[in-house]
Chains A and B, each alone.
Chain A
Amino acid sequence: MTSRDGGPRPTKRRARAGRVFVAPNLIAIAVFMLFPLGFSLYMSFQTWDLFTPARFVGLANFGHLFTADPLFVTALRNTVVYTVGTLVPTVLISLVVAALLNRKLKGISVFRAVVFVPLAVSSVVTAVMWQFAFNTDDGLLNTMLGWIRLGPVPWLLEPGWAMVSLCMVSVWKSVPFATVVVLAAMQGVPHTLYEAARIDGASELRQFVSITVPLIRGALSFVVVISIINAFQAFDQVYVLTGGHGGPETGTYVLGIMLFQNAFAFLDFGYASALAWVMFAILLGLTLLQLRLTRRSSMRL
């Protein structure tokens, strides 16, 4: 770029203006993201209850978490169950829904809009709405089960069923986003491939398995990573559905609830920070593994 008189000044001025425009965002990131991240890392090596001065304890918080807190194992196990229970149905349902929506039919835009509605509803509203549906005596689900003569299910009252309920809500909430991503990827698959497959006599199912799925692998990989991250960070839905103790018993005691409980109920912010960084490390490991696997399979393609 050159100025009218050919000098460098306007470029410099523009660069300066650019920095000025970016500065507020950078400051916001530094204040609201980098500082809290750094502070929580610092706190994970301290014991701190908000009121008394923080005391350095080295790796004691991490040591206690891994060796002396049986609830960490429970929370980790529940989080893994919740993640798998959310991830697998989300991917399968979103594939089917996206395939159905990826057609040129009259009124398909209405169906697309309806499918995406849960995306616009807040997690807390979703959880409250589902609470009514899970009501044992006269909730929607048990009423419908009653029509086919199946007994009432104690959705939120028994530990096992409470986790199933939680996964159902999470799937309901996650499917629209996954569908948007998968549908966008499906629309990018060249039609010529399907035409060639049809000429070769491939069925619809065969086309879906052998053409669509391999070619949207990148999008699926993205959906998997995002779903795992969301599941590991689950808190608000659990808090509203089954309470701040992750009950009944420890049925829905996931890592998000454990973190909140240690920080805000027990005022043990050092321990909660250590847990947060352990969660971060697990997620980072899983994401890197997923990326490596995806890269390897794309190279094979």
Chain B
Amino acid sequence: VLDQPFGRRTLLRGAGVLGAVSVGLGSAGCGDDDADALTFFFQANPEEADARLTIVQAFQRANPGIRVRTVLSGPDPMQQMSTFCAGGKCPDVLMAWELTYAGLAERGVLADLNTMLAQDHGFAAQLKADSVRDLYDAFAFDGGQYALPEQWSGNFLFYNKRLFAEAGVPAPPDRWDQPWSFTEFLTAATALTKRDRSGKTTQWGFVDTWVPYYSAGLFGMNNGTPWCHPRTNPTHLNFDDEAFIEGVQFYADLAVTHRVAPKAADVQSISTMDLFSSGRAAMALGGHWRYQTFSRADGLDFDVTVLPGGPKGNGGKSNIGTTGLAIAASSPRKQQAWEFLKFAAGPIGQALIGESGLFVPVLTSATRSTGFALAHNRIGNLAVLTDGPSHSGYLPVTPAWPKIDALMDRYIGPVLRGSRPATSLKTGLSRTVEQVLRSP
């Protein structure tokens, strides 16, 4: 046989057989994996993914009849979810973000959980009693409840205790009801900024690890004006409000005028997280999702404090940043998905989340638990986290958010670079946003 030439037909036949076999094996493999598993789509960094899997494993131990297949999102979860769902492969359980879920809810992608809550009186009552109302309502849209919140991801300040002590700056407030003002914050940030002989900054007073144009709005809100009116399906965003504009300008001036915060050019080669982790920044704005990164930084002794409040406001507030769990309207496994939601967003899952130290749970019982305190034993001002959800202002909940987000980037960007004053938002951003809200 070996002496015979290897003919073209033999080659083609062989390739055909191989192809058929591989297709057969492939589909058999897929079928085996996908058959009855409940699919759970979420976004997470590696540390968060571990915590997620802990919850999933605990759920499977408690519910041996329900198998869960996790789907980890890429960098743009909304785009990925849209593509999955439009292609008829919508995961059963979806992670939802308070700023973006409305677009999916409006298009009928998410199931209204009120149906399940109405049938599960005991759980609904327990959830209501244990929840922070504003967080829960973040997922209420057009009369429906489209997700159950599972973590508070609002923003606050991390601060480097050693740098404060070295500069002789008194420790900042340890709770939300003891506010500090924009002026006090600026004084501290100025005292904590150091420059070398050539004028190059060697230590920043303040860095921002969130999205700068969102943070600017947060300072606007903390000068006494909410982002929008009303919260859901807003008809007006307050980019034209004097107090809001002053707050945005204060935030921009931290980098542009006072030079206590880095400009965009200063953080092109090093991230703001690295600046704080390496002790080259004294305060960092961010949410609990930065906690693990900062905890693992060598020699970093930090605590958390509240955001400052402007002269026209009543102290600083955080934002109602929250993620929740939703069920796809097209899911054939709604009951199993509901059991998963009850577990993850209910007392058991929330307690596990609290103990993991990776999220701030949303149920009061979990945030006040010993497990949560033990998981955050490096933090002295624990009340900043535990009281955060109830000291948070809302951001707009609207299906038009992707367009508003693009506009904010476009119009607030020049203000943060110092090429335009914040008053320019009154005519530019405000008018354009009004048009989007009128005809999204």
Q: Within the assembled complex, what's the spacing in Å between the Cα atoms of A157 and B85? A: 37
Chain A proximity of B437: nearest CB distance (Å): 14
Task: Give bound CA distance, A248 to B413, whole Å.
Answer: 7
- Which of B13-21, B182-190, B227-235, B265-273 makes up part of the contact surface? B265-273
Which residues A191-213 have CB closer than 8 A to chain B? Answer: none
| Known contacts A51-B107, A51-B109, A248-B417; A157/B410 CB under 8 A | no
A52 neighbours in B (Cβ, 8 Å): 107-108
Chain B, interface SS category? helix
- Shortest A141–chain B CB gap in Å is 12
Q: Smallest Cβ distance from B211 to chain A, in angstroms?
A: 12
Contact B406 A245 (CB under 8 A): yes
A158 CA to B264 CA in the complex, in Å? Answer: 11
Inter-chain contact A265/B85, CB cutoff 8 Å:
no
Query: B82 touching A245 by the CB < 8 A rule?
Result: no
Asked if A261 and B266 sit within 8 Å, CB to CB, the answer is no
- Provided the pairs A137-B269, A154-B265 are in contact, do residues A50 and B82 lie with their beta carbons within 8 angstroms? yes
Contacts of A156 in B (CB 8 A): 268
Q: How far is the CB of A239 from chain B (nearest CB, A)?
A: 11
Q: Are B265 and A136 touching (Cβ within 8 A)?
A: yes
CA–CA, A156 and B268, complex, Å? 10
Question: Are A266 and B403 interface neighbours, CB within 8 A?
Answer: yes
Are B402 and A266 in contact, with the CB atoms below 8 A?
Answer: yes
Question: In the assembled complex, how far is the CB of residue B423 from the closest CB belonging to chain A, in whole angstroms?
Answer: 17
A264 within 8 A of B: yes
Is the C-beta of A236 less than 8 angstroms from some C-beta in chain B?
Answer: no
- Complexed CA–CA distance, A158 and B263 (Å): 13
Are the C-beta atoms of A137 and B413 separated by less than 8 Å?
A: no
Tell me the nearest residue of chain B to A48, going by C-beta: B86
Contact, CB under 8 Å: B402 / A265: yes
A247 to B403, CA, bound (A): 14
Q: Which residues of A contact B269 (CB under 8 A)?
A: 135, 137-139
Residues in chain B near residue A249, CB distance under 8 A: 410-411, 413-414
Q: Which residues of B contact A245 (CB under 8 A)?
A: 406, 409-410
Contact A137 B82 (CB under 8 A): no
- Please determine whether B79 and A264 come into contact, CB atoms closer than 8 angstroms: yes
> Which partner residue on chain A sits nearest B420 by CB separation?
A249
In this assembly, does B103 line the interface, its C-beta being within 8 Å of a C-beta of chain A? Answer: yes
B binding-site residues for A, Cβ under 8 Å: 79, 82, 85-86, 103, 107-109, 264-266, 268-269, 402-403, 406, 409-411, 413-414, 417, 419
Smallest CB-CB A-B distances: 9 pairs? A136-B265, A50-B86, A51-B107, A135-B268, A265-B402, A245-B409, A135-B269, A245-B406, A264-B79
